[in-house]
Structure 1
């Protein structure tokens, strides 16, 4: 690395390293074959930088100068400190054309503007930086004169002035970059501005070469500057660096694990058992009279707890508790609420927020300490836990209700863990934390940290479940959009008369977890026919009671008689004014649908009150045990005492009681009906009573005198009747129309679910195949019905793309340009997938391309299924390219990967071009 001479005033390494050296390194990485060779080239550049840095700053070990100026150019996609440039390829192309003085229709200008088109960009189509290199190579100096620092300054200027909409300053900065850099440097500059280097070495690979803890620190801080400054010495590990006074960091976490895995995780050695407090994890930083408090997520709550001894809800009470030798320290602990009247630590479920507690609250703030990370400038992250806890006893004097030293006891077996857990259950505590004495403190680490957490809800059989009935639903978002994803549940009011079914229900809780998408879909299918819209302004008259103001009002509601009983597991019962019961569940999780229970068998208000009283709201009311083999005992099913019910006919087959129905009309005289089911607002029994009131008779099974079978929806029984072919099956809607008209209306084709042979022959003489009468005048309603039927027939008569293509070839050879993509099925990559949710990109540039391919005959698939022939990417966002390539390798039927340039060039030439020339490449692809 040849360096520019420096003066004493210019000590930043980036101000001495030419930008061309960085670009030469990137060019070498890009051309190298294999990950190891790429990493070797980058490491050589990094080692020279560090060597020079050490020689320059040997007298200043605390310098802030670091590899950051180069790293922010190597990993531009990770840069958070610099404002976005707001520049894309087309905008940059216009700047280049203007600065270079190119005619807009010149070949070079067209190459820049239409860099995706092979006809203009040739072999580099789709890569704007590579296209620009060929345009600029004869117009730029052979070697640039800028340093890395100067390039960063100009890029900062572009970003700042672009945000301020100062186009002239943006133009000046780009002009200076253009005049002072070579074409090769310009190529990499463009990729830095586009935040995609395409050098075949990804973010993880760069971090791994820089420092073994670099990626971990970046995941915690999201700051390249902090990574480069804190980890500039590769010999110093992260757990010490991340911990510094008055600087937030994420604390070490406990791993969830079953009871029978504790001994193995503790290496079959002695371990600590600590109480798991139900509060807010908080890190206390102290330096003399100055304090700071940071939450688990790094948020500063010093304003609440106090920065100095004379302010806040905690600092004034604990400042004098520290030993005289304690000048500075960092403590890890839990901030909890303490009731001085009952001398009890409160639970977060007791309706208070320790982070925002009012001064006049009956509770007071208490800090429970269980670890120390720094004392008087000495860090303990690399010290084992057994050494760290020795300092705690000499650190401060505990004070009741304000500062507590967490309890800790030694153990060796899971039996001791089970005993401790049972004691925690009896004391209504949240659970336990198991810690390995030799564990070092690793910020933000959970798995393999040596810390385990055990709660009653993690152990089968310890939690009381509640069986509640679903009475409402809420529409979901993301992958759960267009479906009910959360459920409102209720408990029943105990009837006064024994044996009666409940008539009233009180809303109790809302649950939205515990089931897979498949299970959610299955529940939705079962409940879908019975959902009704819930209007908060005009609430329906129902037997479901809500609190005043209709808090937690659902989007849809369901009659409990048509609903499901579900079993829910939760941590505890807490007070809440959002539900009619005045309480709800904390952390509810749906375990299963109780198909063995009827809607009337759900929990009652009395049972809920008993459960709250017995365990003070906690649902962990049973103890864990050990079976004969020495393992934690499995869950024992609760014996449910059931009342013996006489064998009887199922409700759907029972006839309505019509003994008290008075006849009001004779429109159905001498007519016999068999009613299978009815619409939600007029059930089977209601329809039967109406038929009798209008002079008809009702049977439960069709016979020789039955006029017709009536049904609202087709079920198994209706299908059996249809398969017999003897009876006309008429929609229940016809019956409702007869009631409205006060007369027995003639059947129309739109009324029929199924026609007997005689009725079908008669209709053929009176109506055409669309149901339009040959003799009667058309009405608005009849025309609507005919048009709806025609629309249904069109949608049901599916013609394949292959069939359409054959017809075009047969009847319109060489004359059907709009069928160019007829045999193509495209998936358009216009969604970001985050976790288990899919979010559509707003105003995605691919939307217009999708319309174009559909206009020319293609089918656009909403999902990437096995029938997709092409996947369309936009070059500005290739974040999902590697994932789609991996999927292609797994499938027998391969799909092509293309960019919009392929679409437009195919249209322009009138033929399907070779897709390989248009395949996008990600930054992880090796050359």
Structure 2
């Protein structure tokens, strides 16, 4: 290693003697070496030389601060907690380089720097700013820089500190100092350190293992790179006792993905623990005497929010007295939630609040509440090596619970797969995020997902989540391995056209960038390559409406008619002002590219609003049935010669080569099956169609006889809008199978009737579906009566029709249609003082009249169409029963009190119902 003399002799460290060029040379050599073992060998040689140099300078002094840390923080820049954010983007660096090099603003090199993502200007290095900068600088900079590793670290520390203090000029001066005193190759690696992505082909684990066998394990415990380098300076000294220490942040133990049908195997058939998975922020509470500190999962400190002592913060003053006598030290692991004291409910991320905000109570009415589910330190005793069942016993010894402030997570035992499935369904019904399943024998292992904890959420299980078909309207240039193509996409929903034609306007909705393989992404980019246009906010396209102020805008846009629909799965719909819809998806990922579906059949703004209102934005569409076939992990598709490459696997037909025809009942009839029931799933229906002489297709066409469906999903809705197909209930075909003869359709068999079939029905049936000629069966008569009741209730004009009329003819949003889309059941029996009789609740009767006045449909029965149940706040004894009814229903209803009605009328819009759900009383 060549020594640098840029530091004062009194401040001598290895880093002050080793040139930054040496480190960059190492990185260059590692990046060009093939094979992980060979790369590690190159790094080990550098580390060994560093250690030898360290001995020459300092000997064997035990308490020396100087270590490999200055180099390690540059080799692993993403782990450097001391300078989390530089506030520097590639565009800022490009402008400073243009200034330092005195480049003309319109010169080819300046254009390359400013447009480094664009393939045409950046050429082969599109998306890699560091490489683009290197080729611009290599003929304009010295062959070797003059700065030592310590000099570079000092400048980077100054940049990070001044950025945090919002001092722009010192930041600029330090960047200019680095640019002027480093070679082109050094600046390439400096840029990668600043953007925290080196791209040398060595993982974090590999680099730490080269430094010391125990380095990764120690880092997982304390999250402190400097401490790792200092404590493990000697490779011969092993860290046999790795203890968790007070006020030292570490990455907590994490959960691995799981599913109910695998739990018994995961737990070896033994008892396990089940807990609610809370929708909050993971937080570790450290207490030492009267001092408190709070650390997030990433090791970031939030003591300034929650409080360092009993007189400061949003939480500590309320829980300091809850700790039992004799508790001097402790570390508690839990979830920080937002608790609404009035409604006694917990908020979710869908309600757009940040529990780490210091003014949360004032702005949203929520208070911080810590749900504790583990303990790692009890006074001076480290508990991590104890099994979970033993650790949990200590929690009760530490503090007394305080409602809405600090609680102990409730644990229940599970013994088989069904217990897990039941717990997941309870979480879905309660609109929780999911459940945690834990091995009672598991020890606490920081920063690992392989320790015996499993998280089970609806979005991990196929069929439980509503899948949204949305259209791609924008793209974002990729970087790194995705350079030179669009790596992320802006998706939108359609505004329905008034004339029934294809939609012309689309509202921005979300951004997706995961769920597809690199090959799928590459193929998709090739398909759309000729249709992308640069997005110019001064002249935005008429077909695409973004949020005000262009808070989220793509690098390029594409007309929806030239684009493609993607099927997206997400956890929930959350509020957002970055998109025109006013909401977006949380954790979206692409399930597949819908080549089979035309662009104009994407999700509409009306359908999105229905989803948003359903279950408070949660996208769990149904309950989990353990008897269903277990969902399988998505695998990369292997396309054979006989399969069209544009057809997704879920749309492939069954193999009919081994099916024997037993009847000509459906001869010359082409049928498309969209979905089936539990008893008759889609593959079984398709098999029977072929057995009875019919032909199956996956997409209806001009020769299609009918479409079979059991559920009205998004795809069925889109086919209904086209109004050219007969969509028949699967029960019709099941009747044909059971009777072994073709049975003509009746109006009761139809989900949707084409105009041609409707004309035929008009000749044979009255408006209620009662035949003029044939005898009526019991089930047909029931359908007729139901339809008559519907006609009488709605007087031939339902509330949706009225809502459309209001929208067309009352553009100023008349308040009298506020509850037009709500069907409300008023629970209007109030128990009087002797609890022996009930009298009509006149106050709710008056509210019922007010609801009708503002457009609501007030139902006398708690039928399947009810969207809300109104409970008097003075009598909430039936809330428990109503929740049980709601749990069993596929279509959930909201339970609200009269305050929700008043608030909606005052605000002039439907408010979120969650905080108005009454609590259970006895």
Shorter-normalised TM range: 0.3 to 0.5
TM value normalised by structure 1: 0.47
Which structure is richer in relative contact order (CA contacts within 8 A, separation 6 or more)? 1
Task: Give TM-score, length-normalised by structure 2.
Answer: 0.47
Select the structure of larger CA radius of gyration: 1
